[in-house]
Structure 1
Amino acid sequence: MTYPNIADHGLIGDLQTAALVAGDGSIDWFCSPRFDSPSIFGSLLDEGRGGHFRARPVDDGYTSKQLYLPGTAILITRFMTEGGAAEVVDFMPVSSSRVATDRHRIVRMVRCVRGQFRLALDIAPRFDYGRGRHEAQLTADGCVFRSGQEAVTVNVVREPDDDRVARVHLDDHGDLHAEVLLTAGQTRGMVLETASAGPPRAFRAAEVRGLFDETVAFWKDWVAQSTYVGRWREQLIRSAITLKLMTYAPTGGLVAAPTAGLPEQIGGERNWDYRYTWIRDSSFSVYSLLGMGFTEEAAAFTGWLRDRVQEQVGGGEGPLKIMYRVDGSSDLVEETLDHWEGYRGSRPVRIGNGASDQLQLDIYGEALDSIYFADQRGLQMGHQGWRAVSGLLDWLVEHWDQPEEGIWETRGGRKNFTYGRLMSWVAFDRGIRLATSHARPAHLGRWTEHRDAIYEQIMTRGWNAERGAFVQEYDNTVLDSSLLRMSSLGFITPTDPLWSSTLKAMDAELVTDSLVYRYNPEASPDGLRGSEGTFSLCTFAYVDALARAGRLDEAALTFEKMLTYANHVGLFSEEIALTGEQIGNFPQAFTHLSLIDAAITLNAQLDLAASGAVPVRAVQIPVQRAASGMVAGTAVSQPTGS
């Protein structure tokens, strides 16, 4: 079977769910009614049994190009033949985004722009990850597909006198096939609806153009909120739109990716479900979105995070989960779809995520760091929020000094990961800052004692004199690129000799042609077979670290080279294979978050260098993240012992 490259896709969505559209016009991934719901189209994970919605020229002799309408999430796939040219304009109207709904629309507007064009439309839904059988009912105005209590309605787009739809039929599987002939200037297409209240109806071209105009206006108005004026603005805006598309608006939760099961190694077993909200990933989004001026989204997530903290810690239920469903529930039981072959034979295909019950101590630092940063930007928590945060830190007092699974969610057993300790230090540090700046009640003496104890422990056990570097775990020599954040978090200054030595060691072992590996799995077994590519978020973190250390030429070159690995519409997956191919779930929020952070830091440092100013050496929390793209605020002095 033939699969498109993972990166050969654009993303559309309505802030509650999303769909992937391949460069040949095929929708091969769509879940409804939410990101984490079962799929309706899933041919990306099983070309034969997953289901699809294809729109492509009848004749094979065509070329195609794909692009976003600038400043929007509207995807245009252009087909060119000798007889004519047409555009398939795909988008999902955004309506009542704050109210969860089962009803979603995918609009496929087809416009002939030159000559004549005959387009083939094939709709083959496969409900419940292909496990549900369906029936189809064809009418003059479209088709209804039903599977149990679920229904998908397809409405045609046509004018009253239109007789150009030909050879419409259902095959033996209940799949719809149709052809439409268009001439220059005509607009036709189909509108797919989930949970529609009535039978199919014909949409007029003017009505579809109205939906198009409303969707353009929504995205243009949203992008206009950005205050970023620095370098690489186009790439940052595309990343911000992508993050917005992966945000579940009713709660503010950000999914790690809209896909599941895409492999980190083609044919391998590292195939995870990323359609959930990680505490870690979403906490990082606060920096990126506030750094570009998008305060509403940052406020929504901090509210989501506050609710999780109050439910878990405030309710006496113990530590936070590392991830949740977009509605805040924590039922993420992992299972495999044994009837699907997986992307290019990459099995097993997993849904749910067994890592949800792991102990990962770093999430507390990421959560507190984002809350502190939001507080500095005026998004301050109330009394109940502070009580929950205080309870979380009191829990951490008793639990930070123990083995855990770590940021990379390894399945090789718990270890004393340095990054987990680092972020525990961050949690206490930011809690102390919040308490003192607002005169909040807190166990400051205990928090300070444990903050300083973590600092000393990292400096004695996390530093490895043999490697001349901070290492992945205590009593080991493995390097880990998660520690690239040490200087940006204020634990160590960017010019400290210990940090310069650590960067030098990473340069030699984890960096290959500017791309960065997480760690060496051969030296640090993670409990899984196979290998993986370089991690794109780590490469952007490397850019950030280089810029802070004053290595601006290297940082700029690394950043520019990394941008060449984006796909044709500016999207990134999780990893880059040795061939340069994007692999892993797509698009990945973490990658786009780290792109924004790296660009803001690098832009600020380049501005300082261009002005002739001495590079900033004092640590800021966070350093040089600003809505304008310029240096933000003033340096924050570090407490004693940090």
Structure 2
Amino acid sequence: MARVEDYALIGDLHTAALVSTEGSIDWLCLPHFDSPACFAALLDTRDAGHWLLSPVEGGTCTRRAYVEDTLVLETEWVTASGTVRVIDFMPIRHKAPDVVRIVVGVSGAVQMRSELRLRFDYGRVVPWVRHDADEMRAIAGPDAVRLCSPVTSAGKDWATVADFTVNAGDRVPFVLTWSLSHERQPIRIDAEEALAATTTFWTDWSGKGADAEGPYREPIKRSLLTLKALTYQPTGAIVAAATTSLPERIGGSRNWDYRYCWLRDSTYTLQALLAAGYLAEAKAWREWLLRSIAGDPSTLQIMYSIDGTRRLPEAELPWLAGYENSSPVRTGNQASGQLQLDVWGETLDSLNLAREAGIHTSADAWAIQVALMEHLEGEWQEPDNGLWEVRGDRRHFTHSKVMAWVAADRMSRAVADHHLEGPGKRWEALRDEIRADVLAHGYDSEHNTFTQSYDSKVLDASLLMIPRVGFLPGTDPRVKGTIAAIQNGLTQDGLVLRYQTSEADDGLPGHEGVFLACSFWLVDALHGAGERKQATTLFERLLTLRNDVGLLSEEWDPHAKRQLGNTPQAFSHFALVTSAFQLHSGRAHRSDQPLTKTTDGGM
């Protein structure tokens, strides 16, 4: 089975596919990110669905790369008989989703094989397949797929197989199209025209961003392209990752579905998009956020679906063995029903950031924010499940209290600075009350560090956010002490763990890798504390953990030297972008401040 870092991403702003270094598409959900997968080999064997397109002799490619600032992937094999290239992409969707693969003969003559094994409903449903002269049609229930190519294919071993030879100068297209089985089949697309249009789209989009010139231009651009690829264009939502159930520990059971949108990501999302000059995307994200959270403030969730749906029931898929036998495979996410008080703060922080960036605040949007704040006033003293969605007993998490302070701070300042209507003085008093409470119960004066929860000794990476949200300056001795404590007690090989995991936290055995976003938080904290050299060294080390096409998953295993968790992880890439812009500018930034002046970008 391919490693997590062996996969590249292609997508059409509705869904995404993962392509391995062996030329196999092992993950694809159609028609949307959170739809059932038709290729699920990522979480089992090839019998769960995949599409291999490679030289007959097989093996890992010689090289691969995206075409400049696009999401068009080129994979190349140098064989004994010649060199061949496969171009993979998904055209930006108009009506139907397409996956296009073009085999290009570079030199010599190379024998190729296409092996398409469709399995709907996460590998469980084998479709009825019919082969005609230049196309294959598969149907099962609501799903219909058509494969068009000048190469003749045939059924073999419950797969659609085509063997052919590509000579120098040849270009052999394959176009796979999904549709609803009860509707008329979509019009065929021309592969070469689609390639030109897709390349132009991504090149134009990347060119509309803010100037990212400097030593980190390439990782910034690639991260932004990845984040755009994780965007659901109809609503502006951005999924946390393209996958579900990739484990936080190989063989473990901390395997979650990340094909949803977390409110905790919202401030990072907006700050990264605004810093990069993508005001249209930032506006679309804010509008998705406002639609999703509208309603009774007591029912605010930590996550929503790409269209704002609230119910995300968690289920297990026992017919899938899991990635490297890491079971169970899950869909949905039980954590959507947890109480995480920090979400109120993160939501109000992000909406404040939008306001500071000049994005208009409507009367309805402000009314929603006031309702959220009024609810939090009565709830902030309650224990909760915390940022990390701990499935054990609720606690008084320090980070949750700090984010309640953020909510009161941002709302009181909105009244004072933007002359919006609300009880600003009351919120100022609440802000001061929460601050005193955190300093009294969330700070360990004996060890000069903030702690994970009140009156405990446990460390937590979320404490690195204290200067970022403006609760204390980065140079405050208590912040510096917390940084030092985390470096000494919550790192592996210099990289940051989320917290000290235990079975009591979620009832699940085993430990996880280092959380990549947390290591970027350490970059920011060090930078804000005046340790620029340390911050730069750590940041540049984190860049080396990206795979060959610049992607980061959720976690890193410092012992096995491999990526872990769902991929590509939006939180990792957002954190990379904000850290890079801070290092470019030489200034530390808070979450209530746009990183750069914004210009209108297009979506």
Query: Which residue does the alignment assign to 2:162?
Result: 178
Work out which of the residue numbers 214, 217, 230 in structure 1 matches 2:197: 214
CA contact (8 A) 1:489 1:622 kept: yes
Query: Which residue does the alignment assign to 1:285?
Result: 269
* Alignment size in residue pairs: 595
Query: Which residue does the alignment assign to 2:145?
Result: 152
Determine the C-alpha separation between the residues in 1 that align with 2:59 and 2:468. Answer: 52
1:431 equivalent in alignment to 2:429: no
Determine the C-alpha separation between the residues in 1 that align with 2:594 and 2:311. Answer: 38
Query: Which residue does the alignment assign to 1:322?
Result: 302
User: For residues 171 and 620 of structure 1, do their structure 2 counterparts lie closer, same or farther at Cα, with a shift above 3 Å needed?
Assistant: closer
User: For residues 247 and 63 of structure 1, do their structure 2 counterparts lie closer, same or farther at Cα, with a shift above 3 Å needed?
Assistant: closer
Query: Which residue does the alignment assign to 2:226?
Result: 242
Q: Offset at 1:441?
A: 1.4
CA contact (8 A) 2:392 2:505 kept: yes
User: For residues 127 and 60 of structure 1, do their structure 2 counterparts lie closer, same or farther at Cα, with a shift above 3 Å needed?
Assistant: closer
The AA in structure 1 aligned to 2:476 is D
Query: Which residue does the alignment assign to 1:386?
Result: 366
Determine the C-alpha separation between the residues in 2 that align with 1:6 and 1:535. Answer: 15
Determine the C-alpha separation between the residues in 1 that align with 2:340 and 2:83. Answer: 53
For residues 581-621 of structure 1, the C-alpha deviation after alignment (integer angstroms, 9 at most, x for no partner) is 0000011000000111111112222xx7xxxxxxx7xx755
Q: How does 1:562-601 map to 2 (within 5 A)?
A: 562-577=542-557, 578-601=559-582
Work out which of the residue numbers 206, 212, 223 in structure 2 matches 1:223: 206
CA contact (8 A) 1:49 1:340 kept: no
1:68 equivalent in alignment to 2:66: yes
Work out which of the residue numbers 143, 158, 164 in structure 1 matches 2:136: 143
For residues 393-417 of structure 1, the C-alpha deviation after alignment (integer angstroms, 9 at most, x for no partner) is 0011011111000110111121100
Query: Which residue does the alignment assign to 2:88?
Result: 90
CA contact (8 A) 2:12 2:91 kept: yes
Determine the C-alpha separation between the residues in 2 that align with 1:620 and 1:592. Answer: 18
Q: Which runs of 5+ in 1 are unaligned?
A: 159-164, 609-615, 630-642
Determine the C-alpha separation between the residues in 1 that align with 2:464 and 2:592. Answer: 14
Q: How does 1:236-635 map to 2 (within 5 A)?
A: 236-313=220-297, 318-522=298-502, 525-577=505-557, 578-605=559-586, 622=592, 625-627=595-597
Q: How does 1:24-103 map to 2 (within 5 A)?
A: 24-60=22-58, 63-96=61-94, 103=96
Q: Offset at 1:522?
A: 4.3
Determine the C-alpha separation between the residues in 2 that align with 1:85 and 1:456. Answer: 67
Work out which of the residue numbers 97, 105, 110 in structure 1 matches 2:98: 105
Deviates more, 1:387-396 or 1:370-379: 370-379
Determine the C-alpha separation between the residues in 2 that align with 1:543 and 1:109. Answer: 41
Determine the C-alpha separation between the residues in 1 that align with 2:590 and 2:444. Answer: 26
Q: Offset at 1:198?
A: 5.3
User: For residues 122 and 330 of structure 1, do their structure 2 counterparts lie closer, same or farther at Cα, with a shift above 3 Å needed?
Assistant: same
In angstroms, what is the RMSD of aligned CA positions?
A: 1.9
Q: Offset at 1:49?
A: 3.3
Q: Offset at 1:446?
A: 2.6
For residues 501-550 of structure 1, the C-alpha deviation after alignment (integer angstroms, 9 at most, x for no partner) is 11111111112333111111249744321100100000011001111111
CA contact (8 A) 2:451 2:457 kept: yes
Q: Offset at 1:126?
A: 0.6
Q: Offset at 1:63?
A: 4.3
User: For residues 505 and 143 of structure 1, do their structure 2 counterparts lie closer, same or farther at Cα, with a shift above 3 Å needed?
Assistant: same
The AA in structure 1 aligned to 2:583 is L
CA contact (8 A) 1:271 1:349 kept: yes
Q: Offset at 1:247?
A: 0.8
Query: Which residue does the alignment assign to 1:4?
Result: 2
Determine the C-alpha separation between the residues in 2 that align with 1:302 and 1:368. Answer: 11
Q: Offset at 1:200?
A: 9.3
Q: Offset at 1:62?
A: 7.2
Q: Offset at 1:310?
A: 2.0
Q: Offset at 1:453?
A: 1.1
Deviates more, 1:584-593 or 1:515-524: 515-524
Determine the C-alpha separation between the residues in 2 that align with 1:146 and 1:95. Answer: 21
Q: Offset at 1:377?
A: 1.3
Determine the C-alpha separation between the residues in 1 that align with 2:57 and 2:231. Answer: 38
User: For residues 12 and 62 of structure 1, do their structure 2 counterparts lie closer, same or farther at Cα, with a shift above 3 Å needed?
Assistant: closer
CA contact (8 A) 1:63 1:79 kept: yes
User: For residues 199 and 117 of structure 1, do their structure 2 counterparts lie closer, same or farther at Cα, with a shift above 3 Å needed?
Assistant: farther
Determine the C-alpha separation between the residues in 2 that align with 1:35 and 1:388. Answer: 28
For residues 224-268 of structure 1, the C-alpha deviation after alignment (integer angstroms, 9 at most, x for no partner) is 111133430110010000000101111111100010010000000
Query: Which residue does the alignment assign to 2:174?
Result: 190
- Aligned partner of residue 145 in structure 1, secondary structure: strand
The AA in structure 1 aligned to 2:207 is A
Determine the C-alpha separation between the residues in 2 that align with 1:380 and 1:429. Answer: 20
The AA in structure 1 aligned to 2:123 is G
Determine the C-alpha separation between the residues in 2 that align with 1:621 and 1:5. Answer: 35
- Aligned partner of residue 595 in structure 2, secondary structure: coil
CA contact (8 A) 2:463 2:482 kept: no
Q: Offset at 1:64?
A: 2.8
CA contact (8 A) 1:601 1:623 kept: no
Compute the TM-score of the two structures, normalised by the length of structure 1.
Answer: 0.90
Identity %: 39
Deviates more, 1:54-63 or 1:482-491: 54-63
The AA in structure 1 aligned to 2:478 is L
For residues 259-308 of structure 1, the C-alpha deviation after alignment (integer angstroms, 9 at most, x for no partner) is 00100000000000000011112332100111111111110010011112
Q: Offset at 1:436?
A: 2.3
Q: Offset at 1:457?
A: 0.5
Q: Offset at 1:624?
A: 7.4
Determine the C-alpha separation between the residues in 1 that align with 2:521 and 2:55. Answer: 43
Q: Offset at 1:427?
A: 1.0
CA contact (8 A) 1:604 1:624 kept: no
Deviates more, 1:596-605 or 1:341-350: 596-605
Q: Offset at 1:449?
A: 2.1
User: For residues 202 and 398 of structure 1, do their structure 2 counterparts lie closer, same or farther at Cα, with a shift above 3 Å needed?
Assistant: closer
Query: Which residue does the alignment assign to 1:639?
Result: none
CA contact (8 A) 2:10 2:229 kept: yes
CA contact (8 A) 1:600 1:624 kept: no
- Aligned partner of residue 434 in structure 1, secondary structure: helix
CA contact (8 A) 1:536 1:575 kept: yes
CA contact (8 A) 1:155 1:200 kept: no
